[in-house]
Amino acid sequence: MVKKEAFGEFEKYTISNDGILVSVTTLGATLTDVCFKGKNRVLSYGSPEEYLARKSYLCAIIGRYANRIENAEFKLNGELLKVTPNENGNQLHGGPDAFDRREWKAEILDDNAVKFELFSPDGDNGYPGNLTATVIYSIFKDGFRITFEAESDKDTLFAPTTHAYWQIDGSDVRDDVLTFDSEKYLPVDERLIPTGAELETADAFDFRSPKKVGGFFDHCFLLREGSDRKTVPALTLTGRDVTMELFTDFPAVQMYTGPIDGFDDYAGLALEPEVVPNSPNMPGYESPVLKKGEKYSKFVEYRFK
Ligand code: GLA
């Protein structure tokens, strides 16, 4: 069933069945609730004003490019392009006024799915191409899926993510138990740009077997190549009364433990499925280029037990 209500000047859509309830607002196509066993498992604010005033991209859709682009520039088809910088001369999460702050247009598809659509004009935050992005939230028994689609009328970059902050236990996320299908992560410099090296997930970074999150992270984990991403979870997060499995066809996941604007330290855990940070300047990784007329499609799916 889908319920539509006002959320300040925006709208909120709640999709629910016997097992799961998911609410999404048209502000940023932001996830405000994921209720499983009667508890909300994501962090949320009470009003659109607070989402707009705070700085942590709380559970929003990030676009056009998730994570950082070094010096806010890259070459596309041999031409150097500049996009709008918003963090130390780099671009973070699509620029200063990006997809997370926009009003998306919602359409109820059926009892289990709502589609959010955003038109991003040519030149938006410096990116070429008139781009239409759609994000579909759909639920099934004990889980939900986010489907990202897009099309542009010029070659451009498109590499979104969901910036959900999980608080599956309602307590310190360092105590959550994590398993990551990842054998490598990307070390970063002081501006949080990958250095170009890949390190093996050893010690604190080794989540190949279940282990407590333990401490601070703001790192990109490369997902193991060759795993069937429809059946093998990229990661599993376990609290006292719930286990969440994340499936995705993105090649990497950024794990970020905060600080989170408006919350206590370690109140939530961001697990952002995405291409690798700065990929427009990192040949050898999955390209974030979306060709003119090409249909973009990626998914992230969550299953709860
Ligand atoms: C991502 C980044 C972090 C931080 C958050 C938003 O997770 O990797 O450095 O910018 O987004 O607060």
* Cα–Cα distance for residue pair 34/23, rounded to 1 Å: 7
Instruction: Decide if pLDDT at 300 tops 90.
Output: yes
Bridge partners, residue 14, by sequence: 3, 23
What pLDDT, in 10s, does the model give residues 239-290?
999 999 999 999 999 999 999 999 999 999 999 999 999 999 999 999 999 9
The SS3 call for residue 239 is coil
Which among 93, 149, 163, 301 is annotated as catalytic?
163
What pLDDT, in 10s, does the model give residues 47-82?
999 999 999 999 999 999 999 999 999 999 999 999
- List phi, psi (to 5°) of 101: -105, 0
Residue ranges of alpha helices (H) inside the chain are 48-53
Q: Are 19 and 141 in contact (CB under 8 A)?
A: yes
Name the residue of 218, 221, 272, 278 to mutate for ligand 1: max ligand atoms within 8 A of Cβ: 218
Q: Given CA atoms 194, 197, 198, 200 in this order, what sign does their dihedral have?
A: negative
Q: Are 207 and 263 in contact (CB under 8 A)?
A: no
Q: Which atom of ligand 1 is least distant from the CA of 218?
A: 8
CA separation, residue 22 to residues 4, 55, 60, 64 (Å): 12, 23, 14, 24
Residue 296 DSSP code: E
Does ligand 1 have an atom closer than 6 angstroms to the CB of 261? Answer: no
Q: What is the 3-state secondary structure (H, E, C) of 216-236?
A: CCEEEEEECCCCCCCCCCCEE
Q: Which helix (H) or strand (E) element contains residue 137?
A: strand 131-140
Residue 88 DSSP code: T
Instruction: Decide if pLDDT at 166 tops 90.
Output: yes
Instruction: Read off the tokens for 30.
Output: 């932001």
What CATH number corresponds to the domain at position 211?
A: 2.70.98.10
Q: Tell me the residue range of the domain where 131 lies.
A: 2-304
* Mean pLDDT of the region 200-225: 97
* Mean pLDDT of the region 17-40: 97
pLDDT, residue 242, reads 96
Q: Which atom of ligand 1 is least distant from the CA of 55?
A: 12
What is the total count of domains within the chain? 1
* Cα–Cα distance for residue pair 47/49, rounded to 1 Å: 5
Does ligand 1 have an atom closer than 6 angstroms to the CB of 217? Answer: no
Which amino acid belongs to residue 271?
A: L
Instruction: Decide if pLDDT at 230 tops 90.
Output: no
